[in-house]
């Protein structure tokens, strides 16, 4: 019998608790690949799971962590052999399947993607689900036919994980980026990532008009609710918005006006169950299109023991960019 260190969420009569504890290898869930988790990341969903602020966790005990990168130890899957470097994002890990905030994970081999050439395991988790989601948003806008010549792109929640990577990606691809944030103190940070203009989040929380003045050709929205409705109302004719978050709420107090009078398209971006082929495309593009210097600027590294302290901060909007977690000593 052997064990490893992990963040473990349990539920008892007094409610939910989360602690750093020893976890028995024998209690890992079914899967055809076991890999050593070396790096992970802190995401909004992880913050919800650890704090219990939303019913993210569907079984107990649970190891949270939707992101992981590391090295295959054993495999019964034809695509993977011991020693392979792999990435996992989503697939219910940290929710219904034991997640990545521990030194070992057992998962389905179909959930894994190879570490791209030129990307370290550490950098892959500095990118993490947030960066992978940002890339999915960019791919959706590109499929719509949008180019830098189409006009500016707004990114909401720009100082967060998805937003930071989206700003960096879009600016490197040549787009003029408008970064919307509720944290004006992050203006210099966002300009360093490539934003051409900083927009106060307050301009997106005003009462929603069916149609407002056209201001941008496209958007990447991480907030939902009133901000997304306002982004849609200000999108130019034939433009598109990729929606991937709900930090401001699940509702969407909009009208059909942007869609039927301006031909605006709204793309929903799901990173959790995204098909493997599209995942691999996104990771290949991240390897080539994301400036590593900008990635370093937006990344803070912590250890596994610090996760419990940091998790509430991401829900309070107090985390800038990406928080990388070193799992292995």
CA 10 – CA 314 distance, rounded (Å): 21
Instruction: Give pLDDT tens digits for 202-214.
Output: 999 999 999 999 9
Give the helix ranges, DSSP H, for 144-290: 161-172, 187-193, 225-233, 257-261, 276-289
Maximum C-alpha span of the chain: 65
Torsion-angle region of residue 235: left (phi > 0), alpha (psi -120 to 50) or beta?
beta
Instruction: Give pLDDT tens digits for 229-287.
Output: 999 999 999 999 999 999 899 999 999 999 999 999 999 999 999 999 999 999 999 99
CA 103 – CA 35 distance, rounded (Å): 9
Give the 3-state secondary structure of 247-285.
CCCCCCCCCCHHHHHCCCEEEECCCCCCCHHHHHHHHHH
Sign of CA dihedral 31, 35, 36, 39: negative
Instruction: Give pLDDT tens digits for 100-116.
Output: 999 999 999 999 999 99
- Give the pLDDT of residue 1: 47
Distances in Å between the Cα of 107 and the Cα atoms of 32, 50, 86, 101 are 6, 21, 12, 14
- Rounded mean pLDDT of the chain? 95
Residue 172 has pLDDT above 50, yes or no: yes
Domains and CATH numbers, the chain: 3-115+298-326 (3.90.180.10), 128-268 (3.40.50.720)
Instruction: Give pLDDT tens digits for 34-65.
Output: 999 999 999 999 999 999 988 899 999 999 99
Task: Give the Cβ contact number of residue 186 at 10 Å.
Answer: 22
Q: What is the mean pLDDT of residues 172-186?
A: 96
């Amino acid at each position: 019998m052997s064990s490893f260190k992990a963040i473990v969420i349990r539920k008892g009569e007094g409610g939910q608790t989360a602690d750093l504890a020893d976890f028995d290898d024998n209690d890992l869930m079914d899967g055809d690949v076991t890999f050593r988790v070396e790096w992970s990341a802190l995401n909004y969903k992880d913050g919800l799971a650890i704090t219990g602020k939303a019913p993210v966790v569907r079984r107990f005990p649970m190891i949270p962590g939707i992101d992981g990168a590391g090295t295959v130890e054993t495999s019964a899957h034809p695509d993977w052999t011991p020693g392979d470097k792999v990435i996992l994002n989503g697939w219910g890990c940290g929710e219904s399947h034991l997640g990545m905030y521990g030194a070992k994970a057992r998962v389905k081999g179909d959930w894994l993607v190879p570490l791209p050439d030129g990307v370290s395991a550490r950098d892959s988790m500095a990118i993490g689900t947030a960066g992978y989601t940002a890339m999915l948003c960019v791919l959706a806008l590109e499929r719509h036919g949008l180019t830098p010549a189409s006009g500016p792109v707004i990114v909401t929640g720009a100082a967060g994980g998805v937003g930071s990577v989206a700003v960096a990606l879009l600016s490197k691809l040549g787009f003029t980026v408008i970064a919307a944030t509720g944290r004006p103190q992050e203006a210099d940070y966002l300009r360093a990532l490539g934003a051409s203009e900083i927009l106060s989040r307050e301009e997106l929380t005003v009462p929603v008009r069916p149609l407002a003045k056209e201001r941008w050709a496209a958007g990447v929205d991480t907030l939902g609710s009133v901000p997304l409705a306002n982004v849609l109302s200000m999108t130019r004719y034939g433009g598109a918005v990729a929606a991937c978050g709900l930090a401001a709420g699940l509702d969407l107090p909009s009208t059909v006006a942007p869609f039927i009078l301006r031909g605006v398209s709204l793309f929903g971006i799901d990173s959790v169950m995204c098909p493997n082929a599209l995942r691999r495309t996104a990771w290949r593009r991240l390897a080539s299109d994301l400036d590593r210097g900008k990635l370093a600027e937006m990344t803070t590294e912590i250890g596994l023991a610090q996760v419990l302290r940091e998790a509430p901060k991401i829900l309070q909007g107090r985390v800038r960019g990406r928080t990388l977690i070193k799992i292995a000593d």
